[in-house]
Amino acid sequence: MKCLFVLILLVGPGALASALEVDECVGCHTARRNEPKSRFANGLGHWNDSQCYGCHAELNDVAAQKQKGKTDRRYYAVPVREEKLAQLATSPLAYMNAPETVEPPEGAVPRVSWERLAAFLKRPSNLSPQQGSRAPRMMAYPALQPKALKAVAGLLGVRQPAREKAPAKLTVEERRQADALWTARCFSCHGGPKPVSGRSGVSLGLYTAEWLRDYAAGKVRAPREARTMPVVPLSTGEAKLLYRLFGEMRAEAERELDARVSRLKLEEMAVPTELPPALLGYLWGPFFRDATCVHCHATSPRAASAFTADAEGLKAYLRRESGEEFWRRLETRALEAEHGLVAARPGMPMAGVELPLELRRVIARWVLDGCKDPEGQTWCRH
């Protein structure tokens, strides 16, 4: 791809190992995200695999135009079913909250913490203030390597401190003070199972102490949303204390989520006594599109290398992994939505909302019955 060549020119041949992650970031967090490779005669954009934002934005726009009754030549060419387009008009595809830029210009107070960026990219936390599922709506990079991290940080403009030093663990007294500060200044909007602001303490830990201080004081702005937060006075010392607390909150939240994932047991799932007659045909066909698997596993080389979103790809996955693992990844996504955080082994659909509970229960029944295909052949033993 052209963007891979540009990347190599910018940061050197060593970027090849990290080009995939950077290429995907280009598709959401640079000015080029709305530039298709070309446009077809009817005006529809020709997007590459990494241009998630631009592709989704155009599909959402076509859906909105259709709902308004406006003529749009692109409508006849979009690879989306009529009923799905109707859904997109009110429930847009993912990535629409992704800011074009994440860092302010050079010279301003740094926003994203270099020290916390790796943890966020490996296991994103929810940053969306909108209502609904808290499942993080971005890709996760659990195997992110230092070279890739440096390349991504460079692309996004995240600055590495001259002297990087991880903050010390809070002492018992410091933790007491930090908890009291959190309760008094932050908890009413950022605490609880569904924070009013959309951002929990785990998510706030992505930002530098200095930016948290200035944002609370109303001196800086976030990239996308209009400010709804009241001015909250924070001294530099208090902001640094909260920054350290947020880091510990992430570690605690990760342990809690992973413990719940480890306790998932297929046999303990409440399942129907038998499969609906039409389910087998659905699971081996339309499911891949309805569950949004095709958005990554039929396009992205990184995702397709793990699982291809078609019947043959499902067979290969069930042989290589297991039916129980297939179910577990779907169930993990539901837990991620509860916690607003991605698990160590990410749930599916990544960057999408969790599947409905009833569908997950039916899939559990299908796995317990041996992952049968429409011809009755079994493809798993749990």
- pLDDT-derived band at 2 (thresholds 50, 70, 90) equals very low
The mean per-residue pLDDT over the stretch 110-139 comes to 86
DSSP β-ladder status, 38-39 and 45-46: antiparallel
Task: Check pLDDT > 60 for residue 6.
Answer: no
- Range from 78-87, 179-188, 214-223 that averages highest in pLDDT: 179-188
Give the pLDDT mean for 182-198. Answer: 91
Phi-psi region of 123 (alpha: psi -120 to 50; beta: other; left: phi over 0): beta
pLDDT at 62: 92
Average pLDDT of every residue of the chain: 88
Is a pLDDT exceeding 60 seen at residue 60?
Answer: yes
Tokens of 47: 């997007």
In this prediction the pTM is 0.86
**Rounded mean pLDDT, 51-75:** 91
pLDDT digits (tens, 9 = 90+) for 299-334: 777 787 888 999 999 999 999 999 999 999 999 999
- Looking at per-residue confidence, does 21 or 257 come out higher? 257
Q: Calculate what percentage of the chain has a pLDDT beyond 70.
A: 93
